[in-house]
Structure 1
Amino acid sequence: MNFRQPGFLSTSRSTLLILSIILLVAFGLRVYQLDAHGIFLDEKFTLVCTQGVVQEGANQRDVFFTPGKTYFTPAEFWKPKTLADYNEAIIRSDISNSPAYTGLLALWIDLFGIHDYSTRFLSVLFSMGVVLLTYLLAVRYTGSERVGLFSAALAATEPFFVAYAHVARSYSMTIFVSLLSTYLFLRILDRRSTGNAHWSLYVGYGLTYALTILGHSLGAMVFVAHGLYLLFYVREFKTYLALGSTWLLATLVLLVPWFTIGGGKYIFMTMAYQAQFYRNLAYTNPTNNGFGYMLPGTIPNVLKMAMPVIADLFWLTNGLTIDALGRRNTLLGLFIGMIALAIVWRYRRAVTVPGWVPVAVPVLLAGVLLMATIKSGQQVVLAALPLFGYLLYQTVRSYRITDQRRFIVLLIMLLITPTLFLLIMALKNDHTYGITQRYTSFSFPYAIILLGMMLDQLLRMPRFLQLTLGAIVLVQGYYILALDKRILDDVAPKYTQFFKPRIKNPYITAATSIREQYSPGDTVLYPAIRLHPADEIEKTYWPFSIKDAQLTNLYLPKDASYYQRMDTTQSDRIWLVKGKTGKRVLIFDFKGQTYRY
């Protein structure tokens, strides 16, 4: 894929200005309200792992569970950790997941602290990198700065990217690294076609391959797509040997140690356990199980759960599901859309289009708004999908250079492979729990580039189609920005997990209050909830949870000697007991699970 158009990589001032504005918008969406909402369950797992702490104390027995030991202090909690501590933390607290991100975040925290803004800002940087790299990939392999700008604008506002830039988890990092691996993969193929593939490209590709999988094991599907592309389009043994050796060396040096000696060896055991656990829930308690809605893994159920995930993968179809619009509206919209497509198809090659056609097409689509029972406006987006299918057809036809068409095939492979794997695993494991946006997230940049190519092609279509479909893109853009607003307000459950916005991190609030009010001789009392471990990995040395104490101590001074103990008589409140008077000062009330997330 080596495009040689004159001035291909030149960037005009106007393009740089527009790209700068897009990046500023992307940055604003990603830092706004960054620390307004407290850490949720998965972030808690990440943060304790970065400090080598096992949640519920399996590697802190001497701190919390020594017989006869009444108190513990922040200094004891923060005692130096060994490599074995970090390994055990990631095994027990985060099912051996994301060691690359956890290690990087640990270094980041050492530099910038553990407060919510700083820990999440690393995800912001990776998310910004995704926007910029999407632009670069689109420009280089379509030959169009306009496609790059469209792609960057879509990436800047993509709800998944916005949401997970606000989360201290591995997804933003893994999407960026996997996207970078695709860029390096294509650059290697470019250079090999000219006999000038520098060794640094292979080193970079091998590192991004390993970091992707060590960021999230499902990232391996990106490289399955790379391998399929090689088999389809590359007929050179030297290329097979070079890239195969890169994969093999990176696997042996970086992956095998983690999956054989490190915590990664427990991933497959955990996955097998979870497959059986979720299967049982799917058959016995599919709705009110505490883990989310899941169904037995039959073909109809798998397709039912997959449709909204596939729809949300594409910026243009985000939110378009039968559940959201209703069966009647869906059938009505698609029927009218097919009529509009038939009209456009009939006159696609006509030298002169009859005057009624530019009127009929937008009127048909607008008519859906009058006939549909749900007045959300998105039903007109659904009705336009057949026309966007036609636009995709014209987009593919417009790219006549062989390498450009192969790039489109690679985009489609990278779109399909992760989702197809999830569907196969759902059928194999007989439950639908894993069919979720997070696990298809590696495909988002490629869906965005494909849509960017379509929007570029739209500007070459007849004027009435430009105006009609352009207006519909604006309608969808309104709903995307409204969704981004709900994400930033923490009331978009599909992206934030919450219907009601979280308060600021209660553990930081509690730690700040303790620092301000503690005097020598005082004692901090933490609530103790009774534990119900699901397996041996979750089992600890005590029947009560110490999680609230651990998470609060993450934000206390590392050398502090505050006396602290667990209070098994209650499960909601952190108290400060004044040493001289015995007076209790309420530090924080979790109100059950209200502020524990």
Structure 2
Amino acid sequence: MPHSLTTNRMMNDNRSGLFAQLSSPRLLLFLILVLALGLRLYKSSIHGLYLDEKFTLINTAGVALEGFNQHDVFFTPGKTYFTPKEFWKEKHLYDYIRSIMQTDIGNSPSHYALLWVWVELFGNSDLSIRMPSILFSTLIVGLVFMMVKRYLRSEPLALLCAFLAAIEPFFIAYSHMARNYCMTIFLTMLGSYLFLRILDRREEGKQPIGLYVAYGLSFALATLGHYLSVTIFMCHGLYLILYNRNLKTYIGLGLSTIGGAVSLVIPWFVFGGGKYTFQTLAYQAKLYGGLAYTNPYNNGFNIILPATISNVTKKSIPLWADLMLFTNGLSSETLAFRNMIIALAFGCIAVFIVHQFGRGRSVPVWVSVVIPVLLVAGFALYTILSARLIVTAALPLFYYLLYQSFKSYKNRSDRRFLFLLALMTVFPTLFIIGIAFRNDHTYGLMQRYSGFSFPYAVILGGLTIRQVFRQPTYLRVTLVAVLLLQSVYLVDLLYRIYEDQAPKYTYYGRYRIANPYNTAADRIKQLYAPGDTVLYPSARTAPRDEIENTYTRHSIIDAQYTNLYLPKDATYYQRMDTTQTDRIILVKGKSGQRITIFNFEGTKYRY
């Protein structure tokens, strides 16, 4: 063989080998995980802590908000000042329990326990306390891949679903929050994976003791991370009732769940802060229910409406829409309910035509023209001209393809797995809708409470998108164009999340500056000299129940939050200033000069 031919063949072989390495599932998964981690790390410490995150930080330190366990630090009779060293005095178990009761209704002890260890190791900077959320959010991506690969037996589909999980705005936004959501979503998904593995092993006639223990532990830790996580485990129980008749499986899963409850969950409700939960929930139901009828709009919480069918439907539309990337952002509030109905009607006509005439190898030319026309035909009737209505009109087609994807699985176990996915996608939202009707107000209809559904919704979205690429050319091109249009909105949403301008995801519509309390603490450390005094603003308090009713009638939270960032052994002289409510002031000892360390300007920088 000529030398040139041999050389060319060797070069081609090397290129083929390189291409195979670049396209290997392991490498692609690694790149997706790197992408996921990068999207979650980006700007993760730029914006200051919002209210609930400050609660997280103070609970992790065992400090009761407004000083229930600090009577001897603030406003102590005969004592004119306090120091960081006194603030950081040793805390005991009840201090942590009381803190969680006061600021989190006895919720999330497992998250606080994890974060306490984390802070001891890595400190309490904004990035540090958000890092567990970042890591759990990234692990969700890997777990999505594992579940799809194992139970739908398709690596390309598993990679697609992992990619969708990597760019899911909900996961990215909540990875930037030092709260329990990413941890509990991961734990519930881990519980789902363990549940399926247990069923696999039981079909093999084995009794997987280790899996049972892990499942019980995931149930307990998830429940103690967020109480609504039980909605996913309820789906497991319903699935068992419908599809499993093996008594040993019931006994094993029952004992593992009871074991987790008895060892961790029940003790928390009997001896820990959980005993306060039901009392608070009853109080909140009464409070929000009253506001829904007396002051639904300017009540200091949110828009709270009576739980009529109309109100609940309109409030829950965004919850359902945001579960899928191809429906994310669709809302009757921005598009008008009438316009959405018109768009969906045209979409249903499109589904009928596709089902009757638009499948198979030979598709009439008129069908390939009519389908895209139907997606834009509503603009002759809409009262709002928004390109999102094209996406709305395409929804029936997407869900039709999801149905077709389900039908393509003939194996009984595959169909049962798909049923479980669908159940775990819809049940958490149905559950909070049921609670809304029970309590007669819409306050709890929030995206974060349906967040346990997102991993499974991502998988259903991956099935739908894969099905799009299996369609005849006319339909594939049309729906890919719709997906590209929707991707523009998703990129814009991610930009607004990073810029702190997506209130549904970040809870704020304006840009948050860097943590003002950390900034104030840094200035105090720089400027303080022996003999100086730090003054903290102290407004009058208005406790709403006995848990909030502490020993003082003036707020000390600005002092508490700032001291969290001061050295634990420092002896800076500090006092509460009840004559003003906005400024942290450093009074120089010799000259009496007053230096404004930070001005909160009312609620502007208190978030």
Match of 1:7 in 2: none
Q: Structure 1 stretch 332-341 or stretch 540-549: which is displaced more?
A: 332-341
Question: What does 1:65-80 correspond to in 2, within 5 Å?
Answer: 65-80=75-90
Query: Take 1:392 and 1:114, find their aligned partners in 2: how far apart are those partners?
Result: 45
Deviations 1:349-408 (A, max 9, x none): 555221222232123324456764544421111111121122012111101111110011
Once the two structures are TM-superposed, the CA of residue 151 in structure 1 deviates from its matched residue by 1.2
Letter in 2 for 1:519: A
Query: Take 2:154 and 2:484, find their aligned partners in 1: how far apart are those partners?
Result: 22
Question: What does 1:266-305 correspond to in 2, within 5 Å?
Answer: 266-305=276-315
Query: Take 1:396 and 1:574, find their aligned partners in 2: how far apart are those partners?
Result: 61
Letter in 2 for 1:512: D
Match of 2:181 in 1: 171
Alpha carbons 1:313, 1:437 under 8 Å: kept: no
Alpha carbons 2:361, 2:472 under 8 Å: kept: no
Alpha carbons 1:134, 1:449 under 8 Å: kept: yes
Query: Take 1:520 and 1:207, find their aligned partners in 2: how far apart are those partners?
Result: 51
Match of 1:123 in 2: 133
Once the two structures are TM-superposed, the CA of residue 148 in structure 1 deviates from its matched residue by 1.1
Alpha carbons 2:399, 2:464 under 8 Å: kept: no
Match of 2:521 in 1: 511
Question: What does 1:411-560 correspond to in 2, within 5 Å?
Answer: 411-560=421-570
Alpha carbons 2:292, 2:441 under 8 Å: kept: yes
Match of 1:86 in 2: 96
Pair 1:140 & 2:153 matched: no
Which of 1 and 2 has higher RCO (CA within 8 Å, sep 6+)?
1
Pair 1:221 & 2:203 matched: no
Match of 1:574 in 2: 584
Match of 2:14 in 1: none
Letter in 2 for 1:60: Q
Match of 1:330 in 2: 340
Pair 1:315 & 2:315 matched: no
Query: Take 1:175 and 1:79, find their aligned partners in 2: how far apart are those partners?
Result: 34
Pair 1:55 & 2:28 matched: no
Alpha carbons 1:573, 1:588 under 8 Å: kept: yes
Q: Which of 235, 243, 249 is matched with 1:233 structurally?
A: 243
Number of equivalences? 588
Once the two structures are TM-superposed, the CA of residue 13 in structure 1 deviates from its matched residue by 4.5
Query: Take 1:557 and 1:370, find their aligned partners in 2: how far apart are those partners?
Result: 66
Alpha carbons 1:74, 1:558 under 8 Å: kept: yes
Letter in 2 for 1:310: W
Pair 1:346 & 2:356 matched: yes
Q: Aligned Cα RMSD in Å? A: 1.6
Match of 2:5 in 1: none
Alpha carbons 2:436, 2:445 under 8 Å: kept: yes
Deviations 1:385-436 (A, max 9, x none): 1211220121111011111100111011112221121111111111111111
Once the two structures are TM-superposed, the CA of residue 69 in structure 1 deviates from its matched residue by 1.1
Query: Take 1:493 and 1:394, find their aligned partners in 2: how far apart are those partners?
Result: 36
Alpha carbons 1:347, 1:353 under 8 Å: kept: yes
Query: Take 2:563 and 2:139, find their aligned partners in 1: how far apart are those partners?
Result: 33
Q: Which of 86, 96, 102 is matched with 2:112 structurally?
A: 102
Query: Take 2:604 and 2:479, find their aligned partners in 1: how far apart are those partners?
Result: 45
Query: Take 1:349 and 1:484, find their aligned partners in 2: how far apart are those partners?
Result: 36
Query: Take 2:190 and 2:287, find their aligned partners in 1: how far apart are those partners?
Result: 35
Alpha carbons 1:336, 1:364 under 8 Å: kept: yes
Query: Take 1:141 and 1:245, find their aligned partners in 2: how far apart are those partners?
Result: 25
Match of 1:26 in 2: 36
Letter in 2 for 1:383: A
C-alpha spacing 1:327/1:206, structure 2 compared with 1 (3 Å): closer
Query: Take 1:331 and 1:362, find their aligned partners in 2: how far apart are those partners?
Result: 18
The ranges of structure 1 where at least 4 consecutive aligned residues each deviate by more than 3 angstroms after the TM superposition are: 348-351, 366-376
Q: Structure 1 stretch 18-27 or stretch 430-439: which is displaced more?
A: 18-27
Query: Take 1:307 and 1:349, find their aligned partners in 2: how far apart are those partners?
Result: 31
Once the two structures are TM-superposed, the CA of residue 174 in structure 1 deviates from its matched residue by 0.4
C-alpha spacing 1:351/1:487, structure 2 compared with 1 (3 Å): closer
Query: Take 2:93 and 2:582, find their aligned partners in 1: how far apart are those partners?
Result: 34
Once the two structures are TM-superposed, the CA of residue 283 in structure 1 deviates from its matched residue by 1.0
Alpha carbons 2:534, 2:573 under 8 Å: kept: yes
Letter in 1 for 2:214: G
Alpha carbons 2:25, 2:155 under 8 Å: kept: yes
Once the two structures are TM-superposed, the CA of residue 540 in structure 1 deviates from its matched residue by 1.2
C-alpha spacing 1:370/1:301, structure 2 compared with 1 (3 Å): closer
Deviations 1:259-296 (A, max 9, x none): 10111111111111111111111111111111101111
Deviations 1:520-555 (A, max 9, x none): 110000000111111111111111100000000000
Alpha carbons 2:314, 2:332 under 8 Å: kept: no
Q: Please, what TM-score do these two structures have when normalized by structure 1?
A: 0.96
Q: Structure 1 stretch 152-161 or stretch 511-520: which is displaced more?
A: 152-161
C-alpha spacing 1:174/1:194, structure 2 compared with 1 (3 Å): same
Deviations 1:229-259 (A, max 9, x none): 0000011101011111111111111111101
Alpha carbons 1:155, 1:448 under 8 Å: kept: yes
